[in-house]
Amino acid sequence: MDITTIGIWGGYPNKNEATSSFLIEQDGFRCLIDCGSGVLSAVQNYTELRELDAVIISHYHPDHVADIGVLQHAAMVGMQLKEWNTPLPIYAHDRDTTGFESLSYKGVTEGRALQVSEPIQLGPWEVSFCETVHPVYCLALKFTSNGKSAVFTADTAWKDELVDFAKGADFIAAESNLYEKYVGIIQGHMSGRQAGELATRAGVKQMVLTHLPQYGDIEEILASAKQTFSGAVEFAEIGKTYRI
């Protein structure tokens, strides 16, 4: 599978960029993972919007759903021009009723509910879920196919269960929104050290760091991750495709 970085920022995008998002592709099937601010613009560097087969959303904070509305406009225009075969399925949990209902729009996009304990078959992948530790209900995602797996932590503070969830993964996109001094002070996110510890304990082969803060020197976060993880680790690089 090929995983392309669309955006890397937590909370809001840096100028001309996008919040944390990835495009995952295999056997011609394309799924967008999270669709926050700036994502709809940025993802068009790598795919025509009408070539998206699915969207999957980890939770309903704006840095993960802000661009759903404009994606729906694109789908509507595409449908009117008969260039787009819709509805586009948007997968997400339905614990937020208003949020979930907003995923279905005029027959051009269709919300599909995810349950944490029920993996789904999505194109070439089995996708499974793990509830994270975040101020709102949020799901980490694991895409598995042909014995390979890629994990996306979404937004979360440290949680032991994530170690089992990510066990043996070939790739993990780990949120690392916190400088070490904010662990225990800012809730719902991990530091670089914690992301590294997760990758080490889970035996992950390759890690990219995402959902980064706009303030401070983010190189400190990468350095912290390297203290606890000796495998391949870097900031998720915008536009780079990771093949696993």
CB 78 within 8 A of CB 84: yes
- Among residues 34, 63, 67, 131, which is the contact residue for Zn ion, using CB under 5 A? 63
**Pairing mode of beta strands 139-145, 241-243:** unpaired
Q: How far is CA 48 from CA 32, 72, 239, 240, in A?
A: 12, 14, 15, 17
- Closest distance between Zn ion and the C-beta of residue 61, in Å? 5
Torsions phi, psi for 190 (to 5 deg): -110, 160
How many residues touch Zn ion (CB under 5 A)? 3
Asked if residue 155 binds Zn ion (CB under 5 A), the reply is yes
Q: In what order do the strands lie in the sheet with 54-56?
A: 109-114, 88-93, 54-56, 29-33, 21-26, 2-7, 241-243
Region of 85-93, 132-140, 152-160, 194-202 interacting with Zn ion (CB under 5 A): 152-160
- Closest distance between Zn ion and the C-beta of residue 10, in Å? 5
Asked if residue 34 binds Zn ion (CB under 5 A), the reply is no
- Closest distance between Zn ion and the C-beta of residue 211, in Å? 6
Q: State whether residue 58 is helix, strand or coil.
A: coil
Rank residues 59 and 112 by Cβ distance to Zn ion and give the closer one. 59
- Closest distance between Zn ion and the C-beta of residue 239, in Å? 20
CB 10 within 8 A of CB 59: no
Q: Which residue is nearest to Zn ion (CB)?
A: 63
Query: How far apart (Å, rounded) are the C-alpha atoms in residues 112 and 92?
Result: 6
Asked if residue 25 binds Zn ion (CB under 5 A), the reply is no
Rank residues 5 and 145 by Cβ distance to Zn ion and give the closer one. 5
- Residues making contact with Zn ion (CB under 5 A): 61, 63, 155
